Structure 1
Amino acid sequence: MKRVMVDQGSGVEIMYPDLYKGLNLKLEDLTAYDSPLISFDGKTVVPKSQIRLPVQSGPEVVEVDFVVVDAYSSYTAIILRLWLHSLGVVSSTLHLKVKFSSRDQIEELIRSQFVDRQCMAATILH
Protein backbone atom coordinates (compact mmCIF):
# COMPACT_ATOMS: atom_id res chain seq x y z
CA MET A 1 0.00 0.00 0.00
CA LYS A 2 1.20 3.47 -0.80
CA ARG A 3 0.04 6.82 0.57
CA VAL A 4 -0.89 5.47 4.00
CA MET A 5 -1.25 7.97 6.83
CA VAL A 6 -0.16 6.84 10.29
CA ASP A 7 -2.41 8.82 12.63
CA GLN A 8 -1.91 8.34 16.36
CA GLY A 9 -5.08 10.29 17.15
CA SER A 10 -7.53 8.54 14.84
CA GLY A 11 -10.26 6.36 16.32
CA VAL A 12 -10.53 3.76 13.53
CA GLU A 13 -8.49 2.44 10.63
CA ILE A 14 -9.89 3.83 7.37
CA MET A 15 -9.80 2.46 3.84
CA TYR A 16 -10.69 4.75 0.95
CA PRO A 17 -12.23 3.71 -2.41
CA ASP A 18 -8.94 3.68 -4.36
CA LEU A 19 -7.49 0.97 -2.11
CA TYR A 20 -10.76 -0.99 -1.95
CA LYS A 21 -10.95 -1.08 -5.76
CA GLY A 22 -7.22 -1.73 -6.13
CA LEU A 23 -7.45 -4.83 -3.92
CA ASN A 24 -10.37 -6.17 -6.01
CA LEU A 25 -12.47 -6.73 -2.90
CA LYS A 26 -16.00 -8.01 -3.31
CA LEU A 27 -19.19 -7.00 -1.51
CA GLU A 28 -19.34 -10.41 0.18
CA ASP A 29 -15.92 -9.67 1.77
CA LEU A 30 -17.46 -6.79 3.73
CA THR A 31 -19.38 -6.73 7.01
CA ALA A 32 -21.86 -4.10 8.18
CA TYR A 33 -20.64 -0.97 9.96
CA ASP A 34 -23.13 1.79 10.67
CA SER A 35 -21.52 4.04 13.26
CA PRO A 36 -21.02 7.57 11.87
CA LEU A 37 -17.54 9.11 11.88
CA ILE A 38 -16.40 12.73 12.05
CA SER A 39 -13.94 13.63 9.29
CA PHE A 40 -10.95 15.96 9.59
CA ASP A 41 -13.05 18.85 8.30
CA GLY A 42 -15.74 18.24 10.94
CA LYS A 43 -18.31 16.67 8.61
CA THR A 44 -20.19 13.50 9.55
CA VAL A 45 -19.40 10.53 7.32
CA VAL A 46 -21.42 7.31 7.34
CA PRO A 47 -19.15 4.40 6.41
CA LYS A 48 -20.32 1.71 4.01
CA SER A 49 -18.88 -1.29 5.80
CA GLN A 50 -15.77 -2.80 7.31
CA ILE A 51 -13.30 -5.51 6.43
CA ARG A 52 -10.55 -7.37 8.29
CA LEU A 53 -7.33 -7.65 6.27
CA PRO A 54 -3.74 -8.66 7.00
CA VAL A 55 -1.27 -5.76 6.82
CA GLN A 56 2.38 -6.62 6.34
CA SER A 57 5.03 -4.25 7.69
CA GLY A 58 8.46 -5.65 6.99
CA PRO A 59 8.30 -9.32 8.01
CA GLU A 60 5.42 -8.74 10.49
CA VAL A 61 1.76 -9.30 9.62
CA VAL A 62 -1.05 -7.81 11.70
CA GLU A 63 -4.81 -8.28 11.17
CA VAL A 64 -6.47 -4.87 10.86
CA ASP A 65 -10.18 -3.95 10.83
CA PHE A 66 -10.64 -1.24 8.20
CA VAL A 67 -13.77 0.88 7.98
CA VAL A 68 -14.55 1.48 4.29
CA VAL A 69 -15.43 5.14 3.74
CA ASP A 70 -16.75 6.46 0.44
CA ALA A 71 -15.09 9.86 0.59
CA TYR A 72 -12.26 11.63 -1.18
CA SER A 73 -8.78 11.35 0.26
CA SER A 74 -5.36 11.69 -1.30
CA TYR A 75 -4.35 8.82 1.02
CA THR A 76 -5.47 5.23 0.39
CA ALA A 77 -5.74 4.35 4.09
CA ILE A 78 -5.29 5.61 7.64
CA ILE A 79 -3.60 3.31 10.14
CA LEU A 80 -3.86 4.14 13.84
CA ARG A 81 -2.86 3.32 17.39
CA LEU A 82 -4.02 -0.32 17.42
CA TRP A 83 -1.64 -1.15 14.57
CA LEU A 84 1.13 0.84 16.24
CA HIS A 85 0.60 -0.94 19.56
CA SER A 86 0.33 -4.44 18.09
CA LEU A 87 3.76 -4.03 16.48
CA GLY A 88 5.27 -2.12 19.40
CA VAL A 89 5.99 0.79 17.06
CA VAL A 90 7.86 3.89 18.13
CA SER A 91 6.94 6.76 15.83
CA SER A 92 8.65 10.07 15.24
CA THR A 93 6.80 12.78 13.37
CA LEU A 94 9.98 14.86 13.50
CA HIS A 95 11.98 12.21 11.63
CA LEU A 96 9.03 11.02 9.49
CA LYS A 97 9.50 7.38 10.41
CA VAL A 98 8.33 4.53 12.59
CA LYS A 99 10.55 1.82 14.05
CA PHE A 100 9.70 -1.54 15.59
CA SER A 101 11.51 -4.65 16.71
CA SER A 102 11.07 -7.73 14.53
CA ARG A 103 12.94 -11.02 14.64
CA ASP A 104 15.93 -9.67 16.57
CA GLN A 105 16.34 -6.60 14.37
CA ILE A 106 14.92 -3.09 14.12
CA GLU A 107 12.60 -2.46 11.18
CA GLU A 108 12.08 1.08 9.92
CA LEU A 109 9.32 2.55 7.76
CA ILE A 110 10.20 5.97 6.38
CA ARG A 111 7.70 8.54 5.20
CA SER A 112 8.29 10.47 1.98
CA GLN A 113 8.12 14.27 2.20
CA PHE A 114 7.52 14.36 -1.57
CA VAL A 115 4.45 12.11 -1.31
CA ASP A 116 3.23 14.11 1.71
CA ARG A 117 3.40 17.31 -0.34
CA GLN A 118 1.57 15.65 -3.24
CA CYS A 119 -1.20 14.45 -0.93
CA MET A 120 -1.54 17.86 0.69
CA ALA A 121 -1.70 19.61 -2.70
CA ALA A 122 -4.29 17.13 -4.01
CA THR A 123 -6.43 17.63 -0.92
CA ILE A 124 -6.27 21.42 -1.19
CA LEU A 125 -7.12 21.35 -4.91
CA HIS A 126 -10.04 18.99 -4.31
Structure 2
Amino acid sequence: MPVLGEVHTIARGFSGGGPTASQQKKYARGVNSIEERISGNPWESDLVFTRTNLQDVVPHDNDSVVISVVTVGKKVHKVLVDQGSSADVMFWSTFNKLRLSLDVLRPYTGCLYGFADNQVEVGGYLELRTTFSDGAASRTEKIRYLVINSNSAYNILLGRLALNRLNAVASTRHMKMKLPDLSGKVIVIESD
Protein backbone atom coordinates (compact mmCIF):
# COMPACT_ATOMS: atom_id res chain seq x y z
CA MET A 1 0.00 0.00 0.00
CA PRO A 2 1.46 3.41 -0.89
CA VAL A 3 2.19 5.88 1.89
CA LEU A 4 0.37 9.15 1.23
CA GLY A 5 1.72 11.21 4.10
CA GLU A 6 2.95 11.17 7.68
CA VAL A 7 1.50 12.05 11.07
CA HIS A 8 3.95 13.28 13.67
CA THR A 9 3.88 14.20 17.32
CA ILE A 10 4.42 17.82 18.25
CA ALA A 11 8.13 18.40 17.78
CA ARG A 12 10.73 21.08 18.37
CA GLY A 13 10.39 23.72 21.04
CA PHE A 14 12.95 23.82 23.84
CA SER A 15 13.39 20.04 23.85
CA GLY A 16 16.82 19.18 22.54
CA GLY A 17 18.30 22.52 23.57
CA GLY A 18 16.29 25.01 21.55
CA PRO A 19 15.59 26.15 18.01
CA THR A 20 19.10 27.00 16.81
CA ALA A 21 21.85 24.64 15.71
CA SER A 22 24.28 26.05 18.31
CA GLN A 23 21.76 25.46 21.14
CA GLN A 24 21.17 21.91 19.91
CA LYS A 25 24.92 21.20 19.74
CA LYS A 26 25.44 22.60 23.24
CA TYR A 27 22.62 20.39 24.51
CA ALA A 28 24.11 17.31 22.81
CA ARG A 29 27.54 18.01 24.35
CA GLY A 30 25.92 18.37 27.77
CA VAL A 31 23.95 15.14 27.43
CA ASN A 32 27.04 13.24 26.35
CA SER A 33 29.11 14.58 29.26
CA ILE A 34 26.63 13.87 32.06
CA GLU A 35 27.37 10.80 34.13
CA GLU A 36 24.58 8.32 34.66
CA ARG A 37 22.44 9.74 37.47
CA ILE A 38 20.26 8.08 39.98
CA SER A 39 18.25 10.82 41.54
CA GLY A 40 19.81 12.23 44.65
CA ASN A 41 16.86 14.49 45.34
CA PRO A 42 15.63 13.70 48.85
CA TRP A 43 12.08 14.73 47.89
CA GLU A 44 11.73 12.31 44.99
CA SER A 45 9.13 9.57 45.47
CA ASP A 46 8.21 6.31 43.79
CA LEU A 47 5.14 7.02 41.69
CA VAL A 48 2.98 3.92 41.49
CA PHE A 49 -0.58 3.45 40.23
CA THR A 50 -2.59 0.75 42.01
CA ARG A 51 -6.08 -0.76 41.87
CA THR A 52 -7.08 1.76 44.54
CA ASN A 53 -6.45 4.51 41.99
CA LEU A 54 -9.12 2.93 39.77
CA GLN A 55 -11.91 3.10 42.35
CA ASP A 56 -13.19 6.53 41.39
CA VAL A 57 -12.60 6.21 37.65
CA VAL A 58 -15.73 6.29 35.53
CA PRO A 59 -15.46 3.92 32.55
CA HIS A 60 -14.25 5.92 29.58
CA ASP A 61 -13.34 5.52 25.94
CA ASN A 62 -9.57 5.87 26.32
CA ASP A 63 -9.78 9.56 27.15
CA SER A 64 -6.70 11.70 27.55
CA VAL A 65 -5.53 12.96 30.92
CA VAL A 66 -6.80 16.54 31.11
CA ILE A 67 -6.16 18.51 34.30
CA SER A 68 -6.46 22.01 35.72
CA VAL A 69 -3.55 24.17 36.89
CA VAL A 70 -3.22 27.60 38.46
CA THR A 71 -1.10 30.26 36.80
CA VAL A 72 -1.06 34.06 37.14
CA GLY A 73 -3.64 33.66 39.88
CA LYS A 74 -6.20 31.98 37.65
CA LYS A 75 -7.35 28.39 37.43
CA VAL A 76 -6.85 27.12 33.90
CA HIS A 77 -8.99 24.15 32.90
CA LYS A 78 -8.53 21.86 29.88
CA VAL A 79 -4.77 21.34 30.24
CA LEU A 80 -3.80 18.32 28.16
CA VAL A 81 -1.05 16.12 29.60
CA ASP A 82 0.63 15.27 26.29
CA GLN A 83 3.48 12.80 26.71
CA GLY A 84 4.05 12.85 22.95
CA SER A 85 4.80 16.56 22.78
CA SER A 86 8.31 17.93 22.99
CA ALA A 87 6.97 21.38 23.87
CA ASP A 88 4.84 23.01 26.54
CA VAL A 89 2.30 25.06 24.60
CA MET A 90 -0.08 27.85 25.53
CA PHE A 91 -2.61 28.81 22.90
CA TRP A 92 -3.13 32.44 21.95
CA SER A 93 -6.75 32.37 23.16
CA THR A 94 -5.55 31.30 26.63
CA PHE A 95 -2.85 33.99 26.61
CA ASN A 96 -5.62 36.54 26.00
CA LYS A 97 -7.97 35.04 28.62
CA LEU A 98 -5.18 35.36 31.20
CA ARG A 99 -4.93 39.04 30.19
CA LEU A 100 -1.20 38.85 29.76
CA SER A 101 0.67 41.75 28.19
CA LEU A 102 2.55 41.30 24.94
CA ASP A 103 5.55 42.69 26.82
CA VAL A 104 5.97 39.37 28.67
CA LEU A 105 6.52 37.46 25.42
CA ARG A 106 10.15 36.75 24.57
CA PRO A 107 11.16 36.14 20.97
CA TYR A 108 11.41 32.59 19.66
CA THR A 109 12.73 31.92 16.17
CA GLY A 110 11.69 28.29 15.62
CA CYS A 111 8.48 26.60 14.54
CA LEU A 112 6.53 23.69 15.96
CA TYR A 113 5.64 20.69 13.84
CA GLY A 114 2.83 18.22 14.23
CA PHE A 115 -0.21 20.51 14.25
CA ALA A 116 -2.46 19.48 11.35
CA ASP A 117 0.56 18.16 9.42
CA ASN A 118 2.00 21.69 9.10
CA GLN A 119 4.53 23.78 10.87
CA VAL A 120 3.11 26.40 13.21
CA GLU A 121 4.91 29.64 13.89
CA VAL A 122 5.55 30.47 17.51
CA GLY A 123 4.54 33.95 18.60
CA GLY A 124 7.10 33.86 21.42
CA TYR A 125 7.54 32.23 24.79
CA LEU A 126 7.03 33.12 28.41
CA GLU A 127 7.82 31.55 31.77
CA LEU A 128 4.95 31.35 34.22
CA ARG A 129 4.83 30.01 37.75
CA THR A 130 2.35 27.17 37.47
CA THR A 131 0.82 25.36 40.45
CA PHE A 132 -0.19 21.71 40.46
CA SER A 133 -2.41 20.69 43.38
CA ASP A 134 -4.68 17.91 44.60
CA GLY A 135 -6.13 20.01 47.41
CA ALA A 136 -3.95 18.42 50.10
CA ALA A 137 -0.53 19.20 48.64
CA SER A 138 0.77 21.40 45.87
CA ARG A 139 3.87 22.23 43.91
CA THR A 140 4.70 25.35 41.93
CA GLU A 141 7.28 25.39 39.14
CA LYS A 142 8.21 27.84 36.40
CA ILE A 143 7.04 26.39 33.10
CA ARG A 144 8.30 27.80 29.80
CA TYR A 145 5.34 27.95 27.40
CA LEU A 146 5.58 28.50 23.66
CA VAL A 147 2.65 30.68 22.62
CA ILE A 148 1.02 29.75 19.32
CA ASN A 149 -1.98 31.02 17.41
CA SER A 150 -3.76 27.79 16.53
CA ASN A 151 -7.19 26.37 17.22
CA SER A 152 -7.39 23.78 19.98
CA ALA A 153 -9.90 22.17 22.29
CA TYR A 154 -7.32 22.72 25.05
CA ASN A 155 -5.92 25.81 26.75
CA ILE A 156 -2.44 24.43 27.44
CA LEU A 157 -0.47 21.37 26.39
CA LEU A 158 1.94 20.05 29.01
CA GLY A 159 4.65 18.15 27.17
CA ARG A 160 7.66 16.09 28.16
CA LEU A 161 9.68 19.14 29.28
CA ALA A 162 7.23 20.03 32.06
CA LEU A 163 6.51 16.39 32.94
CA ASN A 164 10.22 15.60 33.29
CA ARG A 165 10.85 18.78 35.28
CA LEU A 166 8.03 17.81 37.64
CA ASN A 167 9.05 14.12 37.75
CA ALA A 168 5.40 13.53 36.85
CA VAL A 169 3.79 10.35 35.56
CA ALA A 170 0.37 10.23 33.92
CA SER A 171 -1.84 7.17 33.49
CA THR A 172 -4.71 7.22 31.01
CA ARG A 173 -6.05 3.98 32.51
CA HIS A 174 -6.25 5.59 35.95
CA MET A 175 -7.12 9.07 34.58
CA LYS A 176 -4.61 10.67 36.92
CA MET A 177 -1.23 12.35 37.02
CA LYS A 178 1.13 11.86 39.96
CA LEU A 179 4.08 13.99 40.95
CA PRO A 180 6.08 14.48 44.12
CA ASP A 181 5.85 17.66 46.15
CA LEU A 182 9.10 19.02 47.54
CA SER A 183 8.78 17.07 50.79
CA GLY A 184 8.34 13.67 49.13
CA LYS A 185 4.55 13.45 49.41
CA VAL A 186 2.81 12.30 46.24
CA ILE A 187 0.36 14.74 44.64
CA VAL A 188 -2.43 12.91 42.79
CA ILE A 189 -4.23 15.08 40.25
CA GLU A 190 -7.40 13.59 38.83
CA SER A 191 -8.36 14.18 35.25
CA ASP A 192 -11.14 16.75 34.78
TM-score with structure 1 setting the length: 0.82
Residues 79-90 of structure 1: matches in 2 within 5 Å?
A: 79-90=158-169
Q: 1:1-126 maps to which residues of 2 (within 5 A)?
A: 1-58=76-133, 59-102=138-181, 103-112=183-192
- Indicate the residue corresponding to 2:62 in structure 1: none
- What is the identity, as a one-letter code, of the residue corresponding to 1:25? L
CA RMSD of aligned residues (A): 1.3
Secondary structure of 2:145 counterpart: strand
What SS is found at the alignment partner of 1:39?
Answer: strand
> Does structure 1 conserve the Cα–Cα contact (< 8 Å) formed by 2:93 and 2:149?
no
Report the alpha carbon displacement of residue 57 of structure 1 after superposing the two structures with TM.
0.5
Which secondary structure does the structure 2 equivalent of 1:52 belong to? Answer: strand
Q: What are the superposed Cα offsets for residues 67-86 of structure 1, whole Å, 9 maximum, x if unpaired?
A: 11001001001011122122
Structure 2: distance between partners of 1:85 and 1:13: 11
Higher helix share: 1
Q: How many residues are treated as equivalent by the alignment?
A: 112
Taking only the aligned residue pairs, the percentage that are identical comes to 26
1:77 aligned partner, one-letter code: I
Instruction: Kindly provide the amino acid, as one letter, of the partner of residue 170 in structure 2.
Output: S
In 2, the alpha carbon distance for the partners of 1:64 and 1:105 equals 21
Consecutive unaligned residues of structure 2, counting only runs of 5 or more, are: 1-75
Q: TM-score, normalised by structure 2?
A: 0.55
Question: d(CA) in 1 for partners of 2:185 and 2:150?
Answer: 38
Structure 1 outlier segments of 4+, above 6 Å: none
SS in 2 for 1:32: coil
Q: CA deviation at 1:90?
A: 2.0
Describe the SS at the equivalent of 1:84. helix
Choose 1 or 2 for highest CA Rg: 2
Whether contact under 8 Å (2:86, 2:161) holds in the other structure is no
Which secondary structure state, in structure 1, belongs to the residue aligned with residue 94 of structure 2? Answer: helix
* 1:24-60, Cα deviation, whole Å (9 max, x unpaired): 1111111111211113321111111111111100221
